[in-house]
């Protein structure tokens, strides 16, 4: 389990717990540096709210995944789950490190291809793929289409000009210990083919010349912290007909608050590969699809405090973002551990870190300890490198934030901030 270990110091004194921030995070007087760039400079140049990515941290996560798996099973393909951060700027860096892509539908496929991802290293998922999705996969000759049900087979039969490499997504009946909205492996899940229907699906695909069935796929959810659940998934697949390719999905969780304990990438790879060898044999091609555990720890969101107010026994610290750029608490109850930049050793207050949107549920994290927050202060929220950019929205006509990639003292604009002109561009009436 990964444990807290890094702290920001000033003059030898402990001033901030940085264990949740990217490894480059460093306290520099009243500022915090990411990738050698002061957060105050990022706020000044690019405004707030803003997504900040540490390039070296991102690349290191990709390299760690590849090394952990290929050192144990050389025939492993690591495919980044694009849904975690669907930006060509991020995918490009991961592709440069050797990762393939797991995409959901034609939209994510186009982003991955624009980033330079090798089509042969792409797997397409989706519980409700349209004709356009399937056609995009066929046109670009991607590595595999993950068949999610019988209608996928019918569409491929109708649209494909010849044999198409496919995997069959199986619902293994695993009730993963995560938020219900992120659990995708139970017997009642909308994803995949239930175990009892797998033989029928296999027979159907073998009757269709356009579906070249290469193997099985299973993905049981996201933000999973117990490795035994992944092992149980492999065991469930072993009870089915054997194949030469197994895609074991993703789902490894990360630490969001200091008290969290999450398995490391190496531990995860060790347990998963051992389970695969034990149940499926060593002569297989293996695919894994990490998303959150690649990008989440490499990212943070920077806000500016707009107002501080007290209501009865509760203090509200409201910033210039919120559920327009971070839906994690609203959807999943996820907590975060923010820092007030520069107020390292001042008095603390327990408050709700809230957003600016017109909803009481617009809370980034509740009942959190903050150091003496004032209007105009910068607040850095770590571990927002997954699904926050993904689900950014225009609630109250908010403009979606930019993405800044920091590396060795340089900050570059990877995704610009949305403009009011962007909001109005689709209005025709």
Q: Please measure the distance between the N-terminal and C-terminal CA atoms of the chain and give it in whole angstroms.
A: 56
In Å, the largest CA–CA distance within the chain is: 72
Burial class of residue 333 in the structure, from the number of CB atoms within 10 Å of its CB (0-12 exposed, 13-18 middle, 19+ buried): exposed
**Sign (positive or negative) of CA dihedral 233, 235, 236, 240:** positive
Q: Taking each helix axis from N to C terminus, what angle separates 150-159 and 131-139, rounded to the nearest 10 degrees?
A: 50
CB atoms within 10 A of CB 284: 18
Q: Is residue 159 within 8 Å of 135, Cβ to Cβ?
A: yes
- Residue 28 near residue 21 (C-beta atoms within 8 A): no
**Cα 210–215–220 angle (5° rounding)?**
120
What residues are annotated to the active site?
358
Task: Label the pairing between strands 378-382 and 144-147.
Answer: unpaired
Q: DSSP state, 379?
A: E
Whether omega for the bond prior to residue 49 falls within 30 degrees of 0, making it cis, is yes
Can you tell me the distance from the alpha carbon of 292 to that of 374, in angstroms, rounded to the nearest whole number? 32
At 234, list the tokens: 């492999």
Identify which of 123, 93, 128, 127 has the alpha carbon closest to the alpha carbon of residue 108: 123
Residue 388 CA to residue 97 CA, distance in Å, equals: 23
Contact, 170 vs 184, CB < 8 A? Answer: no
- C-alpha closest to that of 55 among 66, 63, 47: 63
Q: Which helix (H) or strand (E) holds 364?
A: strand 363-371
Q: Which of 129, 136, 135, 131 is nearest to 114 (CA)?
A: 136
């Amino acid at each position: 389990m990964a444990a807290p270990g890094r702290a920001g110091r000033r003059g030898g004194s402990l001033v901030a717990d940085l264990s949740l921030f990217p490894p480059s995070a460093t306290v520099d007087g009243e500022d915090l540096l990411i990738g050698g760039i002061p957060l105050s400079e990022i706020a000044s140049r690019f405004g707030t709210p803003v997504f900040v990515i540490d390039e070296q941290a991102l690349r290191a996560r990709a390299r760690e995944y590849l090394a952990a798996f290929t050192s144990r099973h050389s025939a492993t393909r690591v495919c980044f789950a694009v849904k975690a951060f669907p930006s060509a700027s991020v995918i490009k860096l991961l592709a440069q490190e050797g990762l393939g892509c797991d995409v959901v539908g034609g939209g994510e496929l186009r982003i991955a291809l624009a980033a330079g991802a090798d089509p042969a290293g792409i797997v397409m998922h989706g519980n409700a793929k349209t004709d356009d999705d399937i056609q995009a996969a066929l046109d670009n000759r991607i590595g595999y289409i993950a068949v999610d049900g019988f209608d996928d087979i019918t569409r491929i039969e109708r649209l494909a000009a010849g044999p198409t490499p496919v995997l069959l997504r199986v619902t293994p009946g695993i009730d993963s210990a995560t938020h219900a909205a992120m659990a995708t492996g139970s017997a009642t899940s909308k994803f995949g083919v239930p175990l009892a229907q797998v033989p029928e699906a296999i027979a159907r695909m073998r009757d269709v010349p356009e579906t070249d069935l290469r193997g099985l796929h299973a993905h049981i959810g996201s933000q999973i912290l117990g490795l035994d659940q992944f092992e149980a998934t492999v065991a469930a697949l072993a009870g089915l007909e054997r194949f030469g390719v197994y895609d074991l999905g993703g789902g490894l969780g990360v630490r969001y608050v200091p008290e969290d304990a999450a398995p490391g990438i190496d531990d995860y790879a060790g347990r998963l590969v051992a389970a695969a060898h034990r149940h499926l044999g060593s002569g297989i091609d293996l695919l894994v699809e990490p998303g959150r555990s690649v990008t989440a720890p490499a990212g943070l969101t920077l806000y500016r405090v707009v107002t501080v107010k007290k209501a009865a026994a509760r203090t509200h610290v409201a910033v210039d973002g919120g559920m327009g750029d971070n839906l994690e608490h609203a959807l999943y109850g996820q907590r975060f551990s923010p820092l007030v930049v520069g107020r390292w050793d001042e008095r603390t207050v327990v408050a709700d870190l809230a957003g600016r949107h017109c909803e009481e549920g617009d809370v980034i994290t509740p009942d959190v300890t903050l150091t003496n927050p004032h209007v105009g202060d910068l607040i850095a929220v770590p571990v927002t490198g997954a699904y926050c950019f993904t689900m950014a929205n225009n609630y109250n006509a908010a403009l979606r934030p930019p993405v800044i990639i920091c590396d060795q003292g340089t900050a570059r604009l990877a995704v610009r901030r949305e403009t009011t002109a962007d909001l109005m561009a689709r209005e025709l009436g």
